[in-house]
């Protein structure tokens, strides 16, 4: 099994345990490593009776009253320490702020790159772009970095920019309630701690909880079941009969990584994917040294990669055939060159428009599907039995290990945790049919709360960090303006948010994501509220400056405040110097 590169321990100022990536060892007994149960649909919450809701609210209020209220009030509470949350912390510290903390539910920084350690785990965006613009690295081993190197990079940034003293590890935020009288948020941390903060920046990340496929009989399987999002290195794969359920972005990475060592790999595919080649040569020490000696070259490489991705945006995002013919031909020609068996080629050919689902990049998947010890099954699964998998046509596959590569519970409805804003408004209720936020960052009735990589701002063609960095600067401007104007709180105007959401809905109708296939991009009602339907450069221009005219500003006397020309000029200056 391929394991991620071992990364250095965090500085002594932290209290977390270092995640390990030990080589797989034989399990003493067959066991099942199951993912956490998937969350129930948020809409179900609305069916709760009013009496039960009242009882729950009363018990919650009683529990809060029993907790000790802290004297300290943080200026900012950041939730999550992946690329976005860590980047927000670094931005605040660079601005001279020290009265903030980053709350992380796990024991280390890294987010999804800390949690996902399955064999073959890597990024499908080039490393020079999948990194902070202010911290280019010459140490990448390949054009596309693996999980271990990305985690090492994130830890490096946390150390270099002095972030560990500001981290609160093993501190899962359960609830946030806004106090309009004080103009501050009250957070409840798992374990019973209360935290007061004037501003909250939520960066929980979309790829956190594994998606359980809920296959009948899984609890009866006598072998081991592993979800890629909760990989168990102690489960031995060498010489075993293994099933891989799922052929999305995770499946096309883990399959080629484990195929050489297993006795036989049976891949269960529901939908074929559009795949582009991913040449990923090793970078030589001479190439690395050239980058170390010439930082400008690294920045120019990043810039060229960025604009190349921007140039591909219409071909990936828009649904019209004029844009789909070129990438479709490239992918089809690549598949036909690599797959010689006509029957296998048919199984691996997608039946939906290029880009409707996530386009995958891999130079290993098609060769793996043609190995002698690999079988691709497109017949549906009926159930998991104690000894394997029974398909709907009655065939049975005997197995030792089953791997769920079924993705994540991407949250496009409901709140990431319990949030109550002005007049006790529930974010869970507001987002029950789909998350919405102005510029993907702020939502009405939830003052001084900002989301990073929130609704409508996922990347459809480029690096997520290109969105996150722009949002970080925007949020910093909002926080600074509130301080300068001595405001109690800032909340986006309902009409402004509604106008933005309407624009996103209208533009999404022209995207390939709405062309008929099912994907995690869409909410249950078929609406795209995950990806941004346009160029990243255009989005960055849209949010370059925090415009106070789009927000209701409430002063210390609880009265609305109209921003002056000086206030507008202040945000212009912040935007230009960000």
Whether 267 is covered by a domain: the verdict is no
DSSP at 424: G
Instruction: Report the number of distinct structural domains present in the chain.
Output: 1
Distance in angstroms (rounded) separating the CA atoms of residues 392 and 516: 26
Q: What is the 3-state secondary structure (H, E, C) of 60-87?
A: HHHHHHHCCCCCCEEEEEEECCCHHHHH
Per-residue model confidence (pLDDT) at position 567: 85
Whether 349 is covered by a domain: the verdict is no
Q: What is the 3-state secondary structure (H, E, C) of 193-243?
A: EEEEEEEEEECCCCCCCECCCCCCCHHHCCCEEEEHHHCCCCCCCCCCEEE
pLDDT tens per residue across span 368-420: 999 999 999 999 999 999 999 999 999 999 999 999 999 888 777 789 999 99
Distance in angstroms (rounded) separating the CA atoms of residues 264 and 537: 46
How much of the chain is helix, strand and coil, in % rounded to 5?
A: 35, 20, 45
Whether 518 is covered by a domain: the verdict is yes
232-249 average pLDDT score: 97
- Locate 501 and state its tokens: 């959401």
What is the domain extent for residue 417? 66-109+163-209+410-577
238-250 average pLDDT score: 97
pLDDT tens per residue across span 419-443: 999 999 999 999 998 999 999 999 9
Distance in angstroms (rounded) separating the CA atoms of residues 267 and 251: 9
Whether 477 is covered by a domain: the verdict is yes
Among 248-252, 335-339, 479-483, 573-577, which stretch is predicted with the lowest mean pLDDT?
573-577
What's the mean per-residue pLDDT of the chain? 89
pLDDT tens per residue across span 329-379: 999 999 999 999 999 999 999 999 999 999 999 999 999 999 999 999 999
pLDDT tens per residue across span 312-335: 999 999 999 999 999 999 999 999
Phi-psi region of 410 (alpha: psi -120 to 50; beta: other; left: phi over 0): beta
Distance in angstroms (rounded) separating the CA atoms of residues 223 and 226: 10
253-260 average pLDDT score: 98
Q: Which of 341, 343, 408, 402 is nearest to 378 (CA)?
A: 343
Per-residue model confidence (pLDDT) at position 263: 98
Distance in angstroms (rounded) separating the CA atoms of residues 412 and 165: 33
pLDDT tens per residue across span 8-17: 333 333 333 3
Q: What is the dihedral of CA 524, 529, 534, 538, to 10 degrees?
A: 180
Whether 103 is covered by a domain: the verdict is yes
Whether 552 is covered by a domain: the verdict is yes
- Locate 85 and state its tokens: 């949350």
| Greater model confidence, 27 or 374 | 374
Per-residue model confidence (pLDDT) at position 62: 54
Residue 422 sits in a domain whose CATH number is 3.50.50.60
């Amino acid at each position: 099994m391929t394991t991620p590169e071992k990364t250095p321990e965090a500085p002594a100022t932290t209290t977390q345990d270092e995640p390990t990536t030990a080589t797989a060892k034989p399990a003493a007994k067959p066991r099942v490593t199951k993912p956490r149960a998937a969350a129930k649909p948020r809409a179900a919450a609305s069916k709760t009776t009013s009496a039960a809701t009242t009882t729950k609210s009363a018990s919650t209020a009683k529990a809060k009253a029993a907790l000790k209220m802290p004297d300290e009030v943080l200026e900012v509470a950041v939730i999550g320490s992946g690329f976005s949350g860590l980047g927000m912390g670094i931005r605040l510290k660079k601005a001279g702020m020290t009265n903030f903390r980053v709350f992380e539910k796990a024991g280390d920084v890294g987010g999804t790159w800390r949690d996902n350690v399955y064999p073959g785990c890597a990024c499908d965006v080039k490393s020079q772009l999948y990194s902070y613009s202010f911290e280019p690295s010459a140490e990448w081993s390949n054009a596309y970095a693996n999980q271990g190197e990305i985690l090492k990079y994130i830890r490096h940034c946390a150390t270099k920019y002095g972030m560990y003293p500001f981290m609160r590890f093993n501190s899962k935020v359960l609830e946030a309630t806004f106090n309009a009288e004080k103009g501050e948020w009250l957070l409840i941390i798992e374990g019973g701690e209360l935290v007061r903060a004037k501003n909250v920046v939520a960066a929980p990340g979309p790829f956190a909880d594994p998606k359980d496929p809920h296959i009948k009989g899984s609890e009866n399987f006598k072998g081991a079941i592993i979800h890629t999002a909760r990989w168990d290195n102690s489960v031995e794969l060498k010489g075993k009969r293994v099933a891989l359920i799922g052929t999305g972005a995770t499946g096309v990475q883990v399959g080629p990584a484990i195929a050489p060592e297993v006795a036989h790999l049976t891949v269960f595919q529901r939908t074929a994917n559009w795949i582009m080649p991913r040449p990923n040569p090793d970078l030589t020490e001479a190439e690395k040294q050239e980058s170390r000696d010439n930082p400008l070259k690294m920045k120019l490489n990043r810039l060229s990669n960025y604009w190349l991705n921007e140039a591909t945006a219409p071909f990936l995002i828009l649904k019209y055939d004029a844009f789909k013919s070129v990438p479709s031909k490239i992918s089809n020609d690549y598949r036909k060159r690599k797959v010689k068996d006509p029957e296998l080629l048919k199984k691996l050919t997608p039946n939906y428009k290029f880009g409707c689902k996530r386009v995958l990049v891999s130079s290993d998947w098609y060769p793996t599907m043609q190995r002698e010890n690999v079988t691709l099954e497109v017949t549906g699964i009926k159930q998991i039995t104690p000894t394997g998998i029974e398909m709907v046509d009655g065939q049975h596959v005997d197995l030792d290990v089953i791997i769920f590569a079924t993705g994540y519970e991407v949250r496009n409805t409901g709140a990431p945790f319990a949030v109550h804003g002005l007049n006790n408004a529930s974010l869970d209720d507001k987002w029950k049919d789909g998350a919405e936020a102005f510029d993907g960052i702020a939502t009405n009735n939830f003052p001084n709360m900002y989301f990073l990589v929130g609704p409508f701002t996922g990347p459809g063609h480029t690096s997520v960090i290109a969105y996150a960095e722009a949002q970080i600067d925007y949020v910093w401007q909002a926080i600074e303006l509130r301080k300068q104007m001595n405001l109690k709180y800032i909340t986006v105007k309902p009409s402004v948010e509604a106008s933005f959401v309407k624009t996103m809905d209208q533009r999404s109708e022209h995207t390939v994501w709405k062309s008929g296939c099912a994907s995690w991009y869409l909410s249950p009602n078929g609406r795209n509220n995950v990806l941004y339907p346009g160029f990243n450069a255009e989005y960055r221009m849209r949010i370059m400056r925090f415009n106070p005219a789009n927000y209701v500003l409430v002063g210390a006397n609880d009265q609305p405040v109209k921003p002056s020309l000086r206030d507008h000029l202040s945000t212009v200056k912040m935007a230009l110097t960000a």
